[in-house]
Amino acid sequence: MKLLVQVIGARGLPSMDMNGLSDPYVRIQLGKQRAKTRIVKKSLNPLWDEEFSFRVGDLREELIVSVLDEDKYFSDDFIGQVKLPLAKVMDADNLSLGTVWYQLQPRSKRAKNQECGNATVHGLIISRRSVC
């Protein structure tokens, strides 16, 4: 079975660079399989519209979608992520969750508590469906 993931775009990303913008890209992981979108330079509302295909082996796995900011001289900055259980896709009508906006989450629960007061809306829109 294959899982198709379409990374469409993001909005309201935080500024990670000195110029007040970011150079965001998305990294997707399912088990040991990884994929990455192109980098959108100088944007807080990037559009990627890229589709990726993953082989599904274990329905207990999570699809991890991370948004990062490219940094030329240091390690890339983590912006946020979404973790989606594969079982949720399999339980959905037509094996598709359609196109949905997801709230980006920090890596740790500690950071999540600190970020609750932030009024900026961070979002990522992706579409997922399963194909036999």
pLDDT of 124 strictly over 90: no
Structural domain including 127 reads 2-131
Is 63 in a helix, a strand, or coil? strand
* Of 132 and 13, more confident: 13
Tally of domains in the chain: 1
Q: Which pair of structure tokens corresponds to residue 126? A: 């992706």
Report the mean per-residue pLDDT for the chain: 81
User: CA 78, 81, 84 angle in degrees (round to 5)?
Assistant: 155
Cβ contact 24:68 at 8 Å: yes
Share of the chain above pLDDT 90, in %: 44
* Of 53 and 98, more confident: 53
Q: Which pair of structure tokens corresponds to residue 67? A: 């948004």
> 22 φ, ψ to 5°?
-140, 165
Express each pLDDT in 86-108 by its tens digit.
Answer: 887 777 667 677 788 888 888 87
CATH label of the domain that carries residue 50: 2.60.40.150
Q: How many CA atoms lie within 13 A of 38 on its CB side?
A: 10
Q: How many CA atoms lie within 13 A of 87 on its CB side?
A: 2
Q: Which pair of structure tokens corresponds to residue 62? A: 């999570």
